[in-house]
């Protein structure tokens, strides 16, 4: 039988919870910046002392949840986080990966498979196409869904009242081109439901654009996106849409549509 004190927190418990909370804040900050951040930038983003950030980043690096960027400095999300994300979404990843590889080769760009995680959209797999100015997206990286094409494609699978419940009554723009109000976002989602494609036109990272479409299977809601520098996106957006549509049909045919 449990004792009376079993549900009371000790000082050690509270300290342990605080460490976990701070480590989670660091991982979220890095998830918003796949290019990586310096220790000072992480401290600023999390409102934590730089010395605390340095200790926690060191511990996270040992476990491979983050990794050093080497001589140029900085830290980004590491492979262990991606392994956890893949494990949580293993079924869809194993089915979708060959189709993602085909899509990436056909357009010559990085391709992302994303799913929902609470108020965030999370990268569960990606194929990086190696070329000049290639887009690097870490598996396990997350973003506010209204700032990315794959996040908007995920939101568009929800009714408007569920979107409001998920996001609340305000959004926080990531760049000067990000959507600035929930009402404006809902108008975008209405268009996405009609035409089948979601867009990020320098709304998450300046100089980067992407296009996405939903993947609606009984395994859950997902989205696939193609990311490219703005100049390549403008030249090839129509072709990206055509190839995305083929990828969507291929994955949904193999897995089975949610409404099928």
Is 81-255 in the same CATH topology as 9-77?
no
pLDDT tens for 32-66 read 777 788 999 999 999 999 999 999 999 998 988 88
pLDDT, mean of residues 10-24 = 80
Contact status, residue 209 vs residue 186, Cβ threshold 8 Å = no
pTM for this predicted structure: 0.69
Architecture of domain 81-255: 2-Layer Sandwich (3.30)
The secondary structure element, H or E, covering residue 81 is helix 79-88
Instruction: Supply the CATH classification number for the domain 9-77.
Output: 1.10.10.10
- Phi, then psi, of 32 in degrees rounded to 5: -80, -10
**In the predicted structure, residue 257 carries a pLDDT above the cut 90:** no
- Phi, then psi, of 121 in degrees rounded to 5: -110, 135
pLDDT tens for 62-86 read 988 888 887 667 888 887 776 676 6
Residue whose C-alpha is closest to residue 186's, from 161, 160, 158, 211: 160
pLDDT, mean of residues 220-248 = 96
Cross-strand bridge partners of residue 123:
114
Task: Return d(Cα 141, Cα 33) in angstroms, integer.
Answer: 8
Task: Return d(Cα 188, Cα 109) in angstroms, integer.
Answer: 25
Going by C-beta distance under 8 Å and a sequence separation of 6 or more, which residues neighbour residue 240? 107, 109, 211, 226, 228, 233
pLDDT tens for 143-202 read 899 999 999 999 999 999 999 988 888 899 999 999 999 999 999 999 999 999 999 999
Domain boundaries of the chain, sorted by first residue? 9-77, 81-255
Beta-carbon count within 10 A of 128 CB: 16
């Amino acid at each position: 039988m449990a004792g009376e004190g079993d549900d009371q927190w000790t000082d050690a418990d509270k300290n342990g919870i605080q460490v976990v909370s701070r480590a989670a804040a660091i991982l979220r900050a890095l998830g918003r910046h796949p290019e990586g951040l310096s220790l000072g930038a992480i401290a600023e983003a999390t409102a934590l002392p730089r010395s605390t950030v340095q200790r926690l980043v060191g511990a996270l690096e040992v476990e491979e949840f983050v990794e050093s960027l080497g001589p140029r400095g900085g830290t980004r999300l590491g492979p262990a986080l991606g392994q956890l994300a893949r494990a949580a979404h293993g079924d869809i990843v194993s089915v979708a990966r060959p189709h993602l590889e085909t899509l990436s080769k056909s357009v010559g760009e990085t391709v992302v498979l994303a799913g929902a995680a609470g108020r965030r959209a999370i990268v569960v797999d990606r194929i990086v196409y190696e070329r000049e100015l290639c887009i690097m997206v870490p598996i396990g990286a997350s973003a506010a869904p209204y700032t990315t094409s794959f996040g908007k494609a995920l939101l568009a699978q929800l009714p408007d009242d569920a979107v409001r419940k998920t996001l609340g009554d305000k959004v926080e723009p990531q760049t000067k081109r990000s959507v600035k109000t929930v009402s404006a976002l809902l108008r975008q989602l209405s268009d996405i439901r009609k035409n089948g494609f979601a867009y990020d036109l320098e709304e998450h990272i300046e100089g980067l654009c992407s296009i996405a479409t939903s993947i609606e299977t009984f395994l859950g809601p997902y989205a696939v996106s193609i990311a490219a520098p703005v100049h390549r996106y403008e030249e090839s957006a129509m072709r990206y849409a055509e190839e995305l549509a083929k990828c969507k049909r291929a994955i949904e045919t193999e897995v089975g549509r949610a409404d099928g």
